[in-house]
Structure 1
Amino acid sequence: MTDTASTWRLVEDGPRTGAENMAIDEALLRSFDPVRSHPVLRLYGWQPPALSLGRFQKAAQVLDLERCRAGGVPIVRRITGGGTIYHADEVTYALVCSPDQIPPASSIKDSFRILTGFLITLYRDLGLEVSYALDAVSPDVRLGERTPFCFAGKESFDILVQGKKIGGNAQRRQKGIIFQHGSLPLVNRATLGLSFMKDRAPCLAEDAVSLEQCGIPPEYDLVRHKLIEAFQRNFTVELSPQPLTEQERSLAGELLVGRYGTDRWNLEGVDA
């Protein structure tokens, strides 16, 4: 691991709009220098609640757009793949690092195990019995099957509580940089999120679970504090609270106007 790996920047951002959140996430990725930058952990929330699409989804194919408009629900597109997520009552994290700044991974898939290890630590600190889907599901369950709705499917390193998926995580690699973000649901809003999909079969939300349903108080500050502790202990690092840099703020502003504030990007996946 490199000299910059022992201290991570901690950017605590509070609640923002979906467009602002995704603009900042991408700005952190684009501004990162894999040689000189310290790795970054960002924590944030969503206000108002919003739907996020995976990078390669088409809004018109998976969402009931009329229902979204009638409900006043914003739609934003992530730079990561995967299915649609309804973001409300959750703690969301994003991290940016180089492969040299984390413990060695045998593959990109294995890096998911390494970079979600702090979540396993967090949930166990909260008293939950958790496991990766790879280790918990029966042999007849198909892992990695693509589904329009994030919580309708399971990946190998999705985290399960009593067989149900808690949150979701997605990763992107770009020019030797790892970007990953994910959600920690305080309250289960999967059924509400499913109501904005074209396919609204109730069974698609049955395998999602939240911290509240596990008996954990659904308090943002409590979970945020526990997450910070678990992250530092899991990676044996120090988190140093720091604001966004001027470069990151400026780039996020440009991305907000030119990309995340446009229907061409959010609904169609095409740059304006």
Structure 2
Amino acid sequence: METWRLLTNRSSNAFYNMAVDEAIMILHSKNKVPPTLRFYSWKPAALSLGYFQKAKEEINYPKCQEEEIDLVRRLTGGRAILHDQELTYSLIIREDFNLLADSIEKSYQQISSGLVRGLQQLLGIPAELKAVERGKKAPVGHSAACFDAPSWYEVILNNKKLIGSAQRRKDGTILQHGSLPLAINAEKIFKLLNYSSEQQRKKASRIFTLKSTSLRKAGYNFSHSELENAIAAGLSQSLGIELTEGKLTAAEIKLAQKLVLEKYQTQDWNFKR
């Protein structure tokens, strides 16, 4: 059974959160730190962009500043997420461990199965996987926001998207992020996105509300530690791994601080598209 490091929740700003995940990814790719499952939250609230999103076209940056919402670009793909009342996980492992499938879609299934198992078995939350319908493409959303439509193998609750995940593979290493909202404020999210008219904004917000959910909206009120324990146990069982609590190394902290200053806080990175 493979031993992984477990890093439990810590609130940090958007730039440091993204820098830590990349620092772990870089040093794990060099075999200097173990495979890692990390839980964290965001303080202050932040809007994260998918790697390929066009910031100037899709995001109302002056509104973000007015609302005191940090803006950061992720390494992973997908669409914009407002990280506010939520628990975030990241999972980092080299491909040569041969634990996750070569196919991104299949590896989503493996990871999501663990998320669902933990939520179901330990917390009694009847979460499910969004099943693949033969011959159909993954659902397409209607806005720049994540959570407005679940893709295949994402976690749903009451047939609405609950956990949004995105993956990046680089230098033979897999990084997957996932966002589990405790609560969602659709009006707040859609203030931060650009639309051609208020009518289009309201329409996108309504669709988002119909297709997404949060734990509190579904009637569940668990703490971060309860959710962390459940998800960690579910992933441990599904992936056949052993999790041992640890902490960031001095090298990871130093590299993360460097990445904050030289990358994640910069306009060049956040507005590169």
TM-score relative to the length of structure 2? 0.88
Q: Which residue matches 2:130?
A: 133
1:7 and 1:120 map into 2 onto residues whose CA distance is: 21
2:47 and 2:250 map into 1 onto residues whose CA distance is: 28
Deviation of 1:154 (Å): 2.6
Instruction: Report the 3-state secondary structure (helix = DSSP H, G, I; strand = E; otherwise coil) of the residue aligned with 1:116.
Output: helix
Deviation of 1:148 (Å): 1.5
Q: Which residue matches 1:237?
A: 241
Instruction: Report the 3-state secondary structure (helix = DSSP H, G, I; strand = E; otherwise coil) of the residue aligned with 1:113.
Output: helix
Over aligned residues, Cα RMSD in angstroms? 2.3
Question: Do the aligned partners of residues 72 and 35 (structure 1) sit closer, same or farther apart at CA in structure 2, a change above 3 Å counting?
Answer: closer
Deviation of 1:101 (Å): 3.3
Instruction: Report the 3-state secondary structure (helix = DSSP H, G, I; strand = E; otherwise coil) of the residue aligned with 1:134.
Output: coil
Deviation of 1:62 (Å): 0.8
Deviation of 1:228 (Å): 2.2
Deviation of 1:72 (Å): 1.2
Residue identity in the other structure for 1:202: S
Instruction: Report the 3-state secondary structure (helix = DSSP H, G, I; strand = E; otherwise coil) of the residue aligned with 1:166.
Output: strand
Count residues with an aligned counterpart. 264
2:2 and 2:139 map into 1 onto residues whose CA distance is: 34
Deviation of 1:259 (Å): 0.6
Query: Do 1:75 and 1:267's aligned partners in 2 also have CA atoms closer than 8 Å?
Result: no
- 1:252-271 matched pairs, under 5 angstroms: 252-269=256-273
Deviation of 1:261 (Å): 1.2
Residue identity in the other structure for 1:254: K
Structure 1 residue 154 corresponds to structure 2 residue 150: yes
Query: Do 2:138 and 2:152's aligned partners in 1 also have CA atoms closer than 8 Å?
Result: no
Q: Which residue matches 1:164?
A: 160
Q: Which residue matches 2:85?
A: 89
Query: Do 1:187 and 1:218's aligned partners in 2 also have CA atoms closer than 8 Å?
Result: no
Question: Do the aligned partners of residues 107 and 139 (structure 1) sit closer, same or farther apart at CA in structure 2, a change above 3 Å counting?
Answer: closer
Question: Do the aligned partners of residues 122 and 194 (structure 1) sit closer, same or farther apart at CA in structure 2, a change above 3 Å counting?
Answer: farther
Unaligned 5+ segments in structure 1 are none
- 1:185-196 matched pairs, under 5 angstroms: 185-196=181-192
Deviation of 1:53 (Å): 0.3
Question: Do the aligned partners of residues 75 and 26 (structure 1) sit closer, same or farther apart at CA in structure 2, a change above 3 Å counting?
Answer: same
TM-score relative to the length of structure 1? 0.88
Higher mean C-alpha deviation, range 54-63 or range 228-237: 228-237
Unaligned 5+ segments in structure 2 are 196-200
Partner deviation per Cα, 1:159-194 (whole Å, 9 max, x = no partner): 111210002101011121111111111112344212
Deviation of 1:92 (Å): 0.6
Stretches of 4+ aligned residues off by more than 6 angstroms = 137-141
Deviation of 1:203 (Å): 2.3
Higher mean C-alpha deviation, range 168-177 or range 203-212: 203-212
Query: Do 1:88 and 1:189's aligned partners in 2 also have CA atoms closer than 8 Å?
Result: no
1:95 and 1:140 map into 2 onto residues whose CA distance is: 28
Deviation of 1:104 (Å): 5.3
1:122 and 1:149 map into 2 onto residues whose CA distance is: 26
Query: Do 2:150 and 2:156's aligned partners in 1 also have CA atoms closer than 8 Å?
Result: no
Structure 1 residue 227 corresponds to structure 2 residue 263: no
1:38 and 1:109 map into 2 onto residues whose CA distance is: 24
